[in-house]
Copies of this chain bind each other. A is one copy, B any other.
């Protein structure tokens, strides 16, 4: 027999230890981490990890407790899409709404945050997503500090410096990660939770799918894990929680919420999308992006196949997200969307989206109890 080995717990000594402070996920310890090899062999043959499905109830759910939300759901930080209107609608409906800083100039971003605050009901939290590789990331950080944004999610890069600046101020920081190594790193750096994003998600993506990423990260870190990528209904919530998540991040489904201000053509494209309607472009540049297939993605594919210069490929993308979101150009706009677009069939108020998703999830779990 080959020596058993727990790949998700060989780095970092404490990650495999179940914490008394984590009632929702009381034991994520892999039995194969036992150091003594004979024990490891024995325990590997002993069926049954003590995995559990975390509670969806706010009082027992670590994500709800951390964020002060009614439901353990975060709205994705979609560039151009995630503005004050969407964020406040999601937060007012009991989730965590997020404004995407993207490459927004700081003065515009400040206006957006003030608008969100004016739209939020008393006591509702909201968040700011900062793309770390954006040229305006540092400026967005200072805006977050100035306006005491309660939650910051980060993407595309190492959030170390941001954690150092924000944690002493009491800001909750939740990085989006796409690998186990990243998850372990941000936990060490002091992240409050982590969003594990599978490659079925829309926009900038990694390579691992939700089905394999969520359980590995859930097992590798003690902080709560939020599952992103492919979640659009109650089935997805229960699956995410079965894989070890304690919350979900949902992007594509919220594009089709009534309060989302994207051009109606964009919403219609998501509604019309079927299972194989998305494409991945930008792989050759090292930063793959998932969008709905159209003339733009076909042209990207042609340039990438022909090994066009990176500058030419990048130039093709310039202004295309704006074209989709603002102008409703579904042919040449960048219709960023996850594979879950195929499961989005209607436009509803944010509140109805959230309550329906969690009612579905609760009904599935009630069926198990029955």
Contact = CB atoms under 8 A, between A and B. Distances in A.
Contact of A364 (B52, B267, B367): B52
A211 B233 contact: no
Interface stretch (A2-10, A57-65, A84-92, A158-166): A2-10
Interface in A165-220: 179-181, 198-200, 207-213, 215-216
A231 B243 CA distance: 10
Contacts of A355: 47
A347 B1 contact: yes
A251 to B, nearest CB: 13
A199 B275 CA distance: 13
A346 B2 contact: yes
9 contacts: A2-B267, A2-B346, A6-B345, A47-B356, A47-B360, A53-B367, A208-B275, A210-B210, A236-B243
A200 B363 CA distance: 28
Given A48-B234, A212-B340, 10 more contacts: A1-B346, A48-B356, A51-B235, A179-B275, A212-B230, A216-B342, A235-B243, A365-B368, A368-B368, A369-B369
A193 B210 CA distance: 25
Interface string A229-251: 11101111011101110000000
Interface string A333-370: 00000111011011110001001101110111101110
Contacts of A212: 200, 230, 275, 338-340, 342-343
Contacts of A297: none
A45 B348 contact: yes
Count class of interface residues, chain A: 35 or more
A271 interface: yes
A117 interface: no
Contacts of A364: 51-53, 242
A259 interface: no
A115 B226 CA distance: 48
Contacts of A29: none
A70 interface: no
Given A2-B267, A235-B243, A242-B235, A48 B359 contact: yes
Contacts of A181: 275
A320 interface: no
Nearest to A279: B207
B367 A44 contact: no
A298 interface: no
Contacts of A258: 1
A2 to B, nearest CB: 5
